[in-house]
């Protein structure tokens, strides 16, 4: 007797900004290509080519004017949008979320797997989120009214998740702290094979990031402005003007703005080293740099502690003061880095390993429930 394939559906908060979380969803789509994807809204002009053949279902938020530029300010309405999808039925729902997607409703038979990038920062690390992401005083005032009841609802939603999957040990600790839930760690997929190992370089340090204050890019700018070593910063964001002012007069710091995929690949492959100055939940870009055989200079906290091997694939700085960073840079430049060893570390995060781990976990839980 042939066993029928389980019905799988996928979910995500939104497909509007195409960052690391959206690349995870793309990998989930490759794992289960026939599974429909439920999101609040989609920016089809920016959508990754990976989703070209995907069955995407949006909520009514898709029709909100200027949704693609205002989506972060609309946090009070996401719960209503996801609930408007009704009660969804499947054997398993694999939901990628750092926000509201896990609030979707499912039939009792559905096992909900939440791939958690982090518990929502706007609920659980509110002051940092409002400072870093929201400039409007009116929106900040509204947030202080709406966030407490939404935080309680987020906690209740987290209790309905059948299985939590954390993208790092850092996030695993937050899931335990904020939700009181256990989780397993499966590192996100990184497009390791997209990059070629380079044994030569053009002598510059590289930052590739959204330019927002919590990324800690000002630490690197201050340090490199003082040392005179060449730093290239690729990316755009609301903090660019402040960073450029901080770098004013330092002829060694170049702001590239937003770059396309081809330029990104070229910059990573031609840099001397990659700089990762902020605290991140995981951090895909340092792994991409290591895929090209490039060592990483990183702030010693968060996900970087799980992706960079000190002395082998990079070094950490603990003190963000310019002189302290520059002291580590001097140490960094005395090391003979092995590009092949650095690439081997990046291979741990290759997409096929992520897909295999996710499919194995879901299958084992579904088979376990059938055995019960």
Instruction: Let me know whether 219 and 364 are in one domain.
Output: no
Our measurement of the distance from residue 117's CA atom to the centroid of its chain's CA atoms, rounded to an integer in Å, reads 7
The answer to the question of residue 142 being in a domain is yes
Q: Quick one: pLDDT at residue 151?
A: 87
Q: Quick one: pLDDT at residue 95?
A: 97
Q: What 8-state DSSP symbol labels residue 234?
A: E
Q: Quick one: pLDDT at residue 372?
A: 36
Q: Quick one: pLDDT at residue 3?
A: 60
The answer to the question of residue 252 being in a domain is yes
Structural domains in the chain (count): 2
Q: Quick one: pLDDT at residue 210?
A: 87
Instruction: Let me know whether 47 and 175 are in one domain.
Output: yes
Q: Quick one: pLDDT at residue 127?
A: 67
Sheet with 111-116, edge to edge strand ranges: 56-58, 37-39, 8-12, 92-97, 111-116, 163-166, 184-185
The reported pTM is: 0.86
The answer to the question of residue 320 being in a domain is yes
CA distances (Å), origin 324, targets 247, 317, 319, 331: 18, 7, 6, 11
Instruction: Let me know whether 216 and 277 are in one domain.
Output: yes
The whole domain housing 97 covers 8-189+350-371
Instruction: Let me know whether 152 and 50 are in one domain.
Output: yes
Residue 292: Cβ-neighbour burial (10 angstroms; 0-12, 13-18, 19+):
buried
Q: What is the pLDDT along the chain (372 residues), one digit of tens a residue?
A: 446 789 999 999 999 988 889 999 999 999 999 999 999 999 999 899 999 999 999 999 999 999 998 888 787 889 899 999 999 999 999 999 998 999 999 999 999 999 999 998 878 766 665 565 555 566 666 667 778 888 898 999 999 999 999 999 999 999 999 999 999 999 999 989 999 998 889 999 999 998 988 899 999 999 999 999 999 999 998 899 999 999 998 899 999 999 998 999 999 999 999 999 999 889 999 999 999 999 999 999 999 999 999 999 999 999 999 999 999 999 999 999 999 999 999 999 999 999 999 999 999 999 986 433
């Amino acid at each position: 007797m042939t066993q029928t394939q389980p019905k799988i559906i996928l979910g995500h908060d939104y497909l509007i900004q195409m960052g690391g979380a959206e690349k995870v969803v793309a990998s989930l789509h490759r794992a289960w290509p026939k599974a429909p994807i439920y999101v609040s809204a989609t920016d089809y002009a920016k959508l990754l080519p990976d989703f070209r053949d995907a069955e995407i279902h949006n909520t009514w938020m898709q029709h909100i004017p200027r949704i693609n530029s205002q989506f972060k300010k609309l946090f009070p309405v996401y719960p209503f949008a996801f609930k408007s999808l009704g009660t969804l039925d499947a054997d398993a729902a694999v939901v990628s979320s750092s926000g509201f997607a896990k609030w979707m409703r499912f039939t009792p038979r559905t096992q909900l797997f939440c791939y958690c990038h982090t518990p929502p920062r706007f609920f659980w690390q509110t002051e940092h989120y409002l400072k870093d992401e929201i400039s409007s005083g009116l929106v900040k005032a509204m947030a202080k009214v709406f966030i407490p009841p939404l935080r309680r609802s987020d906690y209740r939603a987290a209790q309905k998740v059948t299985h939590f999957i954390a993208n790092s040990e850092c996030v695993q600790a937050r899931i335990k702290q904020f939700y009181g839930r256990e989780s397993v760690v499966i590192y996100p997929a990184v497009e390791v094979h997209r990059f070629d190992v380079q044994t030569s370089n053009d002598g510059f340090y590289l930052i590739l990031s959204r330019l927002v204050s919590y990324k800690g890019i000002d630490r690197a700018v201050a340090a490199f402005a003082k040392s005179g070593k060449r730093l290239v910063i690729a990316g755009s964001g609301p903090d660019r003007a402040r960073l450029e002012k901080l770098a004013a007069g330092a002829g060694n710091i170049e702001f590239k703005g937003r770059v396309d995929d081809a330029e990104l690949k070229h910059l990573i492959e031609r840099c001397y080293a990659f700089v990762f100055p902020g605290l991140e939940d995981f951090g895909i870009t340092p792994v991409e740099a290591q895929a090209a055989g490039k060592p990483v200079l990183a702030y010693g906290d968060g996900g970087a502690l799980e992706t960079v091997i000190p002395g082998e694939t990079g070094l950490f700085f603990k003190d963000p003061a310019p002189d302290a960073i520059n002291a580590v840079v001097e140490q960094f430049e005395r090391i003979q880095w092995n590009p092949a060893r650095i690439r081997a570390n990046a291979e741990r995060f290759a997409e096929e390993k992520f897909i295999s781990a996710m499919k194995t976990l879901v299958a084992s839980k579904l088979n376990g429930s059938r055995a019960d």
